[in-house]
Amino acid sequence: MQIHPSQPANIILNKIPGFKPKVGLILGSGLSSLADGISNPTIISYADLPGFPESTVAGHLGRLVLGHLGNMPVACMQGRIHPYEGNAYATFKTMIRTFKLIGCETLILTNASGSLREDVGPGQLMLITDHINLHPGNPLIGPNDEEFGPRFFAMDEAYDVKLRQRFRAIAQQLDIKLAEGVYIGIPGPNFETHAEIRAFKILGGEAVGMSTVPEVLVAHHCGLRVAAVAAITNYAAGLSDEEITHEHTLHYGKLAANNMNRLITGVIESLHREPC
Which residues are catalytic, by number?
Answer: 29, 60, 82, 84-85, 112, 210-211, 234, 246
Mark residue 142 as left, alpha or beta (left: phi above 0; alpha: psi -120 to 50; beta: remaining).
left
- Rounded Cα distance between 7 and 50, Å, is 7
- Rounded Cα distance between 218 and 49, Å, is 19
Q: Which residues pair with 132 in a beta bridge?
A: 184
Within a 13 Å sphere around the CA of 75, how many CA atoms are in the beta-carbon half?
28
The torsion angle over the Cα atoms of residues 124, 208, 156 and 275, rounded to 10 degrees, is: -30
Cα 20 to Cα 44, 98, 110, 148, 215: the distances in Å are 15, 12, 22, 19, 21
